[in-house]
A and B are shown apart, each in its own frame.
Chain A
C-alpha cells in the first residue's frame, strides 16, 4: 500500500495535535476536574507528606459532598516525590504530561519546590506549595502560590520569641543544612542583628545526621542564652533528646516541624520542657468551630492528629475550589483570581496574596503545657 506525501504529513500533524486536543477536553468538559498533587508519600519526607496527602483526600471528599465544582466532581491524582528533588520533578512532569490537571499541589519541602519551579513556569498552570524558602517566591514565578508563611516570616516569629518572650541577648542557631535550614538561619541572623541581639554561634548538621553533641556543646560554650533550631521532624526530636541529655538549660525555640505530630510522638513531656515552637497556626479544637470540625474529621478518618501542614493543604484545596467556582478552569483566570485574594477566610489563616504569591503573613509562638504534650498559645506574630 502506498501512502502519499500529503497523507503522511496529515497523519503526522494529527498525531502531534491529538495530545493537545485532550487538554481543553479534560479541563472544560463535563467530567471530573483533575487536580495533580506531588507529595512525598515514601521516604523520610513522608513524615509530613502523609499529613497533606490525608488532608487533600479529606478535602476532595468534602468538596465533592457539597456539590463539587459547580456540579462537577473533583479528583486529585497523586504522585510520590519521595525524598529527592529529581523524583519531585519527574512526578510533576508526569502529571503535567499525562494527567494534564487544571491545578497542582506541590510538596512542602523548599528544595523540591525550587527544583520543580522552572517546570511550573513552563506548564503555566497554578500550583500551590508549602515550602518556606524565600528564594522560591523571589524566583519570579507567577504560577506558584504559597500556603504557609515564608521562612523569613517564621524566622521573625522565632526572633520575636527570643526578644519579647525570653528576652535573651545572646542566641545560638542550629540548622539543618539545606535550602530551608540555611535560608531560615540567614533570615534569623539578619532579624536578630537588626534588634542588636548577638548571634554567638551558627552550627549546621546534615539531614541524615544522628549525633548533634558537638554542635550543642559548641553553642553552650559560646554562652547561648537561647537556641533557635531549624529542623525537620525526626532530626528535631533527636536534637531535643540530646539537648536534654547534655544538660542544656538555655530555652530552645524550634521551627514548625518541632511540634508536628510525627515529632511529638517521639518525645515525652519532659523532653519538651523549656521549649517553644513557631507554628503556622495552632491546630486546636478550641480555636474555632471549623477547626474543631476539621480535627474531628481528620482523627476519625486517619487515626491521628492533623498538623499545620495538613491544615494548610486542606485550606488550599478549598481555596482552589472557590477559585474554580468563580473563575473557571482557565489557568490565567485562576492565577488572576488567586492574586486578588486579600482576605480569603480559611480555617488556619486569612489568606492574602501578594504579588510574589505569598499568602500567609502570620505565625504563632506556642509551648507545651507543664507536664503534658498539649500546646498553648504564647503569642501571635503578624508581619506585613
Chain B
C-alpha cells in the first residue's frame, strides 16, 4: 500500500506539471484557435528563466521566481506581437506551422545561450522529504501539487468571476460579437498568450528541480500535455487538469503494474482510444466548431 501511495504521489506531481502545460495549450487554443506546438518550449524557457535567475544571477528565491515569471510574461507579449499578430489573418494552419518553426528556433536559441549540458536547479525545499503512509515523499513534489491546484483555482476564478476573464471567454466564443460589444479583442488575445506563457513558466520552474534544466526537455512535456488535452477534451480547462493527472498516473502506475517497457504505449494508447471512441475527450464539447 505504501508503494501504491508513493507511486500515486509521484504520478500526481508529474501529472500536475503536464496539467499546467496542457492548460497553457487550452487557454491559447480557446482564445485564438491556434494549437501552440511551441508549448513544450515555453515550459523549457520557464525552466531556463529559473536557471538564469537562480543559478547565473544568484538572486534570492522570491526575487528569482518573480523575475523568471516576469520574463515569461514578457515573452508571452513578444510571442503575441512577433508571431501571432503578424499571422493572425492567415489560415490557422499557417499559424500552427509558425508555432512549430518558433519551437525549433526557441530550442536552438536556448542551446546557443545555455549550451547542451543540463543544469541542476536547486529547490528551496532541496532534500526535504516527509513520510506519508509509509511512503517517502519529496516536499517539492507536494509543493508542485499544491501550486498546480492553486493556479488552476486562480485561473478558474479569473475566467468565471472577473470581467476580464468573462471577456476572454466571450472572445473565445465569437471574436466579431465580442468586438461589437466593445471588448478590446487585441488586448484580450495578448493576455491569453501571456497567461499561457506564465503557466508554462510556472510548470518549468516546478519541473527544474525535479528533472534537470535541459534544452531538450520541452518536447516530451509537449507530447504528454498534448495527450492530456486530447484525453481531457481539447479546449476544456477541467479536461486539461484531469487529462494531465490521468497521463501522469497512467505513466507511473502503468510502468509499475503493467510494464515499464510499454509505459508510453499505455499513455498514448489511451489517447488513441479516446480519439476513436470519444474524440471530444472527457470534458470536451461533442460538436467542435474549430479544427
When distances are taken between beta carbons in the complex, the residues of chain A under 8 Å from B3 are 217, 221
CB interface residues, A 170-220, toward B, < 8 Å: 177, 203-206, 208-211, 213-215, 217-218
Closest 9 CB pairs of A and B: A214-B256, A214-B255, A204-B261, A208-B220, A46-B116, A210-B211, A213-B10, A203-B260, A44-B216
Interface size on B, residues (CB 8 A): 31
A211 engages B220 (CB within 8 Å): no
When distances are taken between beta carbons in the complex, the residues of chain B under 8 Å from A218 are 256, 260
A301→B112 CA distance, assembly (Å): 20
B252 engages A44 (CB within 8 Å): no
When distances are taken between beta carbons in the complex, the residues of chain B under 8 Å from A214 are 7, 10, 252-256, 260, 263
A136→B258 CA distance, assembly (Å): 32
B6 engages A213 (CB within 8 Å): yes
When distances are taken between beta carbons in the complex, the residues of chain A under 8 Å from B214 are 44, 234
B212 engages A234 (CB within 8 Å): yes
Q: Name the one of B117, B136, B212 contacting A245, with C-beta atoms under 8 angstroms.
A: B136
B111 contacts chain A at the CB level, 8 A cutoff: yes
Q: Name the one of A42, A47, A204, A221 contacting B111, with C-beta atoms under 8 angstroms.
A: A42
A289 contacts chain B at the CB level, 8 A cutoff: no
Can you name 5 extra interface pairs (CB under 8 A) apart from A42-B108, A211-B10, A245-B136? A210-B220, A213-B6, A215-B255, A215-B260, A245-B138
A50 engages B116 (CB within 8 Å): yes
Looking at the assembled complex, report how far the CB atom of A268 sits from the nearest CB atom of chain B, in whole angstroms: 9
Looking at the assembled complex, report how far the CB atom of B124 sits from the nearest CB atom of chain A, in whole angstroms: 17
When distances are taken between beta carbons in the complex, the residues of chain A under 8 Å from B120 are 265-266
Q: Using CB atoms, name the residue of chain A closest to B120.
A: A266
Looking at the assembled complex, report how far the CB atom of A80 sits from the nearest CB atom of chain B, in whole angstroms: 11
A265→B108 CA distance, assembly (Å): 22
Q: A44-B214, A215-B255, A218-B256 are in contact. Are A210 and B14 (CB under 8 A)?
A: yes
Q: Using CB atoms, name the residue of chain B closest to A221.
A: B3
Looking at the assembled complex, report how far the CB atom of B257 sits from the nearest CB atom of chain A, in whole angstroms: 8
Q: Using CB atoms, name the residue of chain B closest to A40.
A: B116
B30 contacts chain A at the CB level, 8 A cutoff: no
Majority-rule SS of B interface residues: helix
Q: Mark A227-246, 1 if CB is under 8 A from B, else 0.
A: 00000001001100000011
A177→B260 CA distance, assembly (Å): 10
Q: A50-B116, A211-B252, A217-B6 are in contact. Are A238 and B212 (CB under 8 A)?
A: yes
List 28 A-B pairs, Cβ < 8 Å.
A42-B116, A43-B216, A44-B214, A44-B216, A46-B116, A50-B116, A83-B216, A203-B260, A204-B260, A208-B219, A210-B210, A211-B10, A211-B252, A213-B6, A213-B10, A214-B7, A214-B253, A214-B255, A215-B256, A234-B118, A234-B214, A238-B211, A245-B136, A246-B136, A247-B136, A262-B117, A265-B117, A266-B118
When distances are taken between beta carbons in the complex, the residues of chain A under 8 Å from B251 are 211
CB interface residues, B 1-56, toward A, < 8 Å: 3, 6-7, 10, 14
Looking at the assembled complex, report how far the CB atom of A143 sits from the nearest CB atom of chain B, in whole angstroms: 30
A177→B210 CA distance, assembly (Å): 22
Q: How large is the interface on A (under 10, 10 to 19, 20 to 34, 35 or more residues)?
A: 20 to 34
Q: Mark B129-152, 1 if CB is under 8 A from A, else 0.
A: 100000010100000000000000
CB interface residues, B 215-259, toward A, < 8 Å: 216, 219-220, 251-256
Q: Name the one of A50, A217, A247, A266 contacting B7, with C-beta atoms under 8 angstroms.
A: A217
A205→B254 CA distance, assembly (Å): 12
B111 engages A266 (CB within 8 Å): no
B117 engages A237 (CB within 8 Å): no
Q: Using CB atoms, name the residue of chain A closest to B251.
A: A211
A331→B51 CA distance, assembly (Å): 49
When distances are taken between beta carbons in the complex, the residues of chain B under 8 Å from A265 are 117, 120
Q: Mark B152-184, 1 if CB is under 8 A from A, else 0.
A: 000000000000000000000000000000000
A205→B138 CA distance, assembly (Å): 22
Q: Using CB atoms, name the residue of chain B closest to A210.
A: B211
A265→B254 CA distance, assembly (Å): 32
When distances are taken between beta carbons in the complex, the residues of chain A under 8 Å from B210 are 210
A204→B264 CA distance, assembly (Å): 11
Q: Using CB atoms, name the residue of chain B closest to A244.
A: B127
Looking at the assembled complex, report how far the CB atom of A178 sits from the nearest CB atom of chain B, in whole angstroms: 12
B260 engages A237 (CB within 8 Å): no
A376→B253 CA distance, assembly (Å): 39
When distances are taken between beta carbons in the complex, the residues of chain A under 8 Å from B256 are 214-215, 217-218
A165→B251 CA distance, assembly (Å): 35
Looking at the assembled complex, report how far the CB atom of A261 sits from the nearest CB atom of chain B, in whole angstroms: 9
A214→B11 CA distance, assembly (Å): 10
A84→B102 CA distance, assembly (Å): 21
